[in-house]
Structure 1
Amino acid sequence: MPVEMYDLIVAGAGPAGSTAARAAVLQGLDTLILEKQTFPRYKPCGGALSSKATAILDYSLPDSICERAITGARVHFRDRVLEKHKGYNLTTLVDRSRFDDLLLKKAQEGGAGIINQKVMDFSEKNGFISVKTDERTYQSRFLVIASGCQDELRSRICGRDGRDCMGICLVADIKEDDEKIRERLPEILDIHFGVAEGGYGWIFPHRGYYSVGIGGLSSRLSHPRRTMLQFLRKNGFPESQRLHGHQIPQGGNKRQYALGRVLLAGDAAGFVDAFTGEGIYYALASGRIAGQVIGEVPAQEVARAYEKGCEKVFGAELRYALFFSKMMHRYPEIFMRILACQEEVLDRYIEIAAAKISYKDFIRWLLPRLPMNLLRTL
């Protein structure tokens, strides 16, 4: 059987992969997505989609995917609770199964092919990439690896992350009547600091269910299941929930994410907010940049152009998020208490989610005010 040749092969049909494929096909590139699972598939995730993430899409999201508009946050730390509403949309909660399926369909509508096979290996030679799946071999001019941080393919480019650079999350979807959800969480996210080492717990109000989870650094969260069960019990949920676990990379750390004709995108590249664990925006942004540069610049310049594009759009934000995360978790009694006690600080912080300010803006605003804010918490 002859080996098929493409302009681009994308490994993984999540947000990064489907967005890369759509950006490529809209430029006339012959593109194939290789995905091990059949969509729609379940995806454990809080499902918070920021306005800057939706701005990347060149189409509107249907109401069936947008489950809840969020206008505020309730933050807990120890015995302190602070709630703040902004009066405008901060983020939208989506059903990740249907959201990811829509992204894939949009890539297919543009002309991308999809084959349900798992990519096992790849090699680069003589100006093309050979991509080996569990069934056959394909060839392309470029390869985008967007199959997540747990896929061994990424280690060929960026190496393996240590436990200090990797997070772990446990998530449960808990069914509930919509009216009761609105009474408990009226368009707000419920965030609990101090329940998971190097991370936090959350309760997000979706349509007909709560997304409840905990996440933290793998090196510090030594008993994630026990921590999750304690979090469920403390917040009035039955402990007999089906738990879904997954790893997420800690963004902002120095990694190589482009080499020759192979680009990493989304979680595979480590593009995740180190403090919140949010990765959808970075998946969409890096996927779009990957698809665009492959179609726009000479082959020998693609890797460098991709690196420059990612750095320009979100590189500094990831590094400042990492700095903020390390600051918060190194001195939690200081910084998390301020966030859960000072309305002015929380009000300013949640503007990051609304893309009103950056982490850099927030840190520069916060640091000169630390002494006075600390005194107010005593």
Structure 2
Amino acid sequence: MLRREVLDSFLRFRAQSHGAQLIHALVTEVDVPSSPNAPYIIHHLINNSRHSLAVDVVIGADGANSRVAKSIKAGNYSCAIAFQERIKLPDDKMEYYKDLAEMYVGNDVSPDFYAWVFPKCDHVAVGTGTVCSKQDIKKYQRGIRERVKCKIKGGKVIKVEAHPIPEHPRSIRVAGRVALVGDAAGYVTKCSGEGIYFAAKSGRICGEGIVKASEGGEKVINEGDLKREYLRKWDDKYLSTYKVLDLLQRVFYGSNAGREAMVEVCGDEYVQRMTFDSYLYKRLADGNRVEDVKMVLKSIGSLIRCNIVSREMQKLY
């Protein structure tokens, strides 16, 4: 399981070793030029001192609350909130999570997403997320802690984190010579909430596209270059994956009956293989058409059965 503090540091220093100039600063705004070939001006703070930098191209990789996105009026999008606690466990309890990550579903831990316990080398991250009930996120955090209280007993909270999670790509991801990647572009998948791979991949596709279109920095690129070499390639490769995962989250995560159906469907070996291959290669796996039809029919059957059971349980209680 990934630790961002390790990965981010590694990527920064690797970029620096290849010639990138690191500036430890807070970007405050980006001035968009009025003429086609004029530079963009990036305003930033270094130790509360104001500075500016003129550049030919901007890649906004500055997260869900991207200031670069605001500068190009890229539009708003709905966000989930993820909340987690990093917990240092006693050695015997940490051993349990040596090769295990856990996912929990239910209205007590999230009304429309899932909760988790993810191992982070020498500690675990215990958290949850939601779109529709952000104001109740701490209640759902108490819910996941209650679910796993025996497993984390004796643990010490070493860090508390909360992050916005984009729910869909922005309506505008390229404008002029500005491109958005990662969370700034809204590249987080439904169902899993994964964004790291797609952030890195979009950054690579965008960077390689700029190098190609600019002929290695010999000419100034334009919006058409970015759309052709970045957006079109990204959408051709991954857009269908986002659409399918969006549908699955709508179908299976909206109620306890839907979540029970999801768990039931995931007991099927074919579903497990297709899920694993799709997750591993980050694209919808090619399956057997006959088995695909069977999988859809089983899913519908599970949804109907679980909804009937849910209604009967509600009558009893």
Q: TM-score, normalised by structure 2?
A: 0.79
The whole-number CA distance in structure 1 between the counterparts of 2:253 and 2:146 is: 24
**Cα distance 1:240–1:129, how it changes in 2: closer, same or farther (>3 A)?**
same
- Of 184, 188, 192, the match for 1:268: 184
Counterpart position of 1:202 = 116
- Of 349, 353, 377, the match for 2:279: 353
Please give the per-residue CA displacement for 1:26-54, whole angstroms capped at 9, x wherever unaligned: xxxxxxxxxxxxxxxxxxxxxxxxxxxxx
Q: Does 1:169 align with 2:82?
A: yes
Counterpart position of 1:129 = 40
Counterpart position of 1:225 = 138
Counterpart position of 1:245 = 162
Please give the per-residue CA displacement for 1:107-144, whole angstroms capped at 9, x wherever unaligned: 11110000111111112323121111122111111001
The structure with the larger Rg is: 2
**Aligned pairs (5 A) from 1:298-377:** 298=214, 299-300=221-222, 301-305=224-228, 306-334=230-258, 336-342=259-265, 343-344=267-268, 345-346=271-272, 348-355=274-281, 358=284, 366-374=295-303
Structure 1 unmatched runs, 5+: 1-92
SS at match of 2:280: coil
Is the contact between residue 320 and residue 359 of structure 1 (CA under 8 Å) also seen in structure 2? no
SS at match of 2:279: coil
The Cα shift of 1:376 comes to: 7.6
**Aligned pairs (5 A) from 1:73-84:** none
Counterpart position of 2:217 = none
**Cα distance 1:341–1:229, how it changes in 2: closer, same or farther (>3 A)?**
same
Higher fraction of helix? 2
The whole-number CA distance in structure 2 between the counterparts of 1:277 and 1:139 is: 35
The Cα shift of 1:254 comes to: 5.4
SS at match of 2:171: coil
Please give the per-residue CA displacement for 1:126-182, whole angstroms capped at 9, x wherever unaligned: 312111112211111100111101233323332222xxx211011111112454323
Counterpart position of 2:210 = 294
Q: Does 1:108 align with 2:31?
A: no
**Cα distance 1:273–1:372, how it changes in 2: closer, same or farther (>3 A)?**
same
SS at match of 2:281: coil
Is the contact between residue 189 and residue 204 of structure 1 (CA under 8 Å) also seen in structure 2? yes
The whole-number CA distance in structure 2 between the counterparts of 1:221 and 1:99 is: 28
The whole-number CA distance in structure 1 between the counterparts of 2:4 and 2:174 is: 27
Highest RCO, 1 vs 2 (Cα 8 Å, sep ≥ 6): 1
The whole-number CA distance in structure 2 between the counterparts of 1:98 and 1:171 is: 18
The Cα shift of 1:309 comes to: 1.9
SS at match of 1:113: coil
SS at match of 1:352: helix
Is the contact between residue 83 and residue 129 of structure 2 (CA under 8 Å) also seen in structure 1? yes
Is the contact between residue 189 and residue 205 of structure 1 (CA under 8 Å) also seen in structure 2? yes
Is the contact between residue 30 and residue 40 of structure 2 (CA under 8 Å) also seen in structure 1? yes
Q: Kindly tell me the number of residue pairs found equivalent between the two proteins.
A: 279
